[in-house]
Structure 1
Amino acid sequence: MPLILMHSPKGGVGTTFLTAHLAMRLAERGHQVTAIDFTHQDSLKLHFNMLPSQQLTGMHFGADDTMVVHGVEVMNGFAIAQEGEFLDMLARPDKLVFDPLRITLVDVPSGALQLKSLLLARCDLHICSLLPFPASLATLTQVEPGVPTAQLEKTGFVLNQLDDTRRLSRHSHSFIRQLMGDALLGTVHRDEAVNEALAMFEPIAKFAPSSIVRVDLDRLTDTVETRLGIGRASAPADINAVTPA
């Protein structure tokens, strides 16, 4: 099953938010999904209705004590990513690192360039989130240094926090759409409900089911399924369960 790398050269652009909600949308559609948090901040869990004091199961080989939240197997990979043995395994394409029966999304911090490079070689899709602001758009040359944006075969982009009432935001959207073409996988509008949901440690679909962001995320999930060649599974998962796997 596909490996989806979630990484942007700039932090603070919504990569973790997109990782969590894309994982939940895929699980809602009946896919078997794993989301792995490789960041030091350990904030992926907050989008899954978990508190900062709650601990995710750490990723390690031979583990059978994983945690399923909202239909997604969620784990923390920060500790194992510091181990040379793990990085060596990632560098060897003959080594099985991720469950081949599950869609795996990996949330990688902007500065973890070695980890990002190793996962990029393995992934089926790399999703890079951007904001419609100059500081974010200026990092396009750093997505894969030395490779023109138009030649990034595995990479798709998501423009996050789009505000149609702001001229710069609209113009940035137009620029990205013309530059990226089909590589622009989707846009997610700015909505204060996103931060309010996070403050309540709830997914946006539960906290604000009428939010335009929910529509945006559903469209993004459609595009990702099409890009990966995976159809909606026959039976939707129970996204309300929080259980050990």
Structure 2
Amino acid sequence: MTVLAFHSPKGGAGNTLVTAAIARRAAIRGRAVSAYDLTRQDSLKLLFGLLPHQNLVGANGQAMVVRGVRLNGNYVTKGERDAAIERIKATPPDELALVDIASADWDGWEQIRRFADLSICVIEPNPIGLASLTRLGEQLPVTEREDIAIVLNKLDDRRKLSRHCHRFMKQLFVNQFVGSIRRDESANEAIARFESLVDYAPNSVIITDVDILIDSIEQRLAITGLVRDPQKLRAVNSAEHQTV
């Protein structure tokens, strides 16, 4: 199994958008994908074209599958949340589980990251976003944390500061930086129309960037040896042996 925990130290960075986009594109690529919304907003489903009042549990009591992704959310009580975390731990070997964690939910992030293959931190290209990364270091600085990857969201190439933040991030976090996603208003338009971005704007730059990001994340997992899929690890080891 592969578990990816998405968490931003600052709200509004687009953590839920990144989680949903990666889930949808991974499903299109043929992966078995489950997405868990551990936020109180319960907004992940909106990015799949569902309405705010729609329940993610089907008539058979199972999680609803929407556009190839098994959606899980609306955990009101602590018991429901704890049960969801146990289900994430029991993710089948061939499945990809993505967990959307609220920025203020540090306890939830700590719980998930203990067993997650990778914790993905989503930030915006601005000074406050960069400053928020100092909260992730704990005993080790972020640059020495193999269990953390950084994604820069809402990149605007037209803005000087945005470009400089992007360059700075790539230079400072050589091993942790896995990619960036450009700003595109079609993401908000899709949500307003209760449609998924892939269906509403299939040519969005976000989709292109997310496809590149997925490749980068898979490469990062394989290189660090954090992937739990034995077949994938054997393939990586074989490739490295042939290179040598």
TM-score, with length taken from structure 1:
0.83
Partner of 2:13: 13
CA distance in 2, matches of 1:170, 1:157: 16
% of aligned pairs identical?
40
- Compute the displacement of 1:186 (Å): 0.8
Partner of 1:240: none
1:202 partner letter: E
Are residues 182 and 85 of structure 1, via their aligned partners in 2, closer, same or farther at CA, if it must alter by over 3 Å?
Answer: closer
Q: Give the number of the structure whose residues are more often helix, by fraction.
A: 2
How does 1:86-105 map onto structure 2 within 5 Å? 86=82, 97-101=89-93, 102-105=95-98
The answer to which structure, 1 or 2, has the higher relative contact order (CA under 8 A, 6+ apart) is 1
Aligned length: 222
Partner of 1:115: 108
- Compute the displacement of 1:85 (Å): 9.0
How does 1:1-245 map onto structure 2 within 5 Å? 1-57=1-57, 65-76=62-73, 78-79=75-76, 82-83=78-79, 86=82, 97-101=89-93, 102-229=95-222
2:82 partner letter: F
1:141 partner letter: T
CA distance in 1, matches of 2:107, 2:210: 29
CA distance in 1, matches of 2:153, 2:33: 23
1:185 partner letter: V
CA distance in 2, matches of 1:86, 1:192: 36
Are residues 165 and 24 of structure 1, via their aligned partners in 2, closer, same or farther at CA, if it must alter by over 3 Å?
Answer: same
CA distance in 1, matches of 2:179, 2:2: 19
Query: Are the equivalent residues in 2 in contact too, given 1:124–1:228 (CA < 8 A)?
Result: yes
Q: Gaps (5+ residues) in structure 1?
A: 234-245
Q: Gaps (5+ residues) in structure 2?
A: 233-244
Query: Are the equivalent residues in 2 in contact too, given 1:98–1:104 (CA < 8 A)?
Result: no
1:210 partner letter: N
CA distance in 2, matches of 1:85, 1:213: 30
SS of 2:152's equivalent? strand
Query: 1:73-107: CA deviations, max 9, x gaps?
Result: 00116335x239928x86xxxx9833223211111
Are residues 8 and 194 of structure 1, via their aligned partners in 2, closer, same or farther at CA, if it must alter by over 3 Å?
Answer: same
- The two structures, once aligned, show a CA RMSD in angstroms of 2.4
- Compute the displacement of 1:112 (Å): 1.3
